[in-house]
Amino acid sequence: MIAQADIVFVPVITLGELEGGFELGSRQKANRIAFGEFLDEPFVSVLELTSSVARRYGRPFAALRRAGTPIPINDVWIAATALDCGGHLVTFDGDYRRVESLDCSILSVDTVGD
């Protein structure tokens, strides 16, 4: 799916989450090198947090709370970033199904490589 994309946006919040995973993992150096090479690809751009993203954050945050189905705060920021840029979110995290109006694909380990 990502291989077919013309451009890949990576929310800056995702960078932080991956850094945390690298710190906890046993392959810190190798993972950072591989991810750095991915980020250096000309079709990959990092999406920063902006005031526009912050304004987008409020609606899904409140809707999820009202419904009694909150998701982790970083995931709300990632969803807001995708909503703001009009992007299609590709993730393994099923929590994103609960974000109204979010265009996303939830992958499973079985779909990787398809």
Domains of the chain with bracketed CATH:
2-111 (3.40.50.1010)
Residue 111 reports pLDDT greater than 70: no
- Under the banding of pLDDT at 50, 70 and 90, the label for residue 4 is confident
User: CB–CB of 32/38 below 8 Å?
Assistant: no
> What's the one-letter identity of residue 37?
E
- Amino acid 109: pLDDT: 75
Instruction: Tell me the DSSP string of 17-85.
Output: HHHHHHHHSS-HHHHHHHHHHHHTSTTEEEEPP-HHHHHHHHHHHHHHHHTT----HHHHHHHHHHHHH
User: CB–CB of 9/47 below 8 Å?
Assistant: yes
The string of pLDDT tens digits covering residues 34-93 is: 999 999 999 999 999 999 999 999 999 999 999 999 999 999 999 999 999 999 999 999
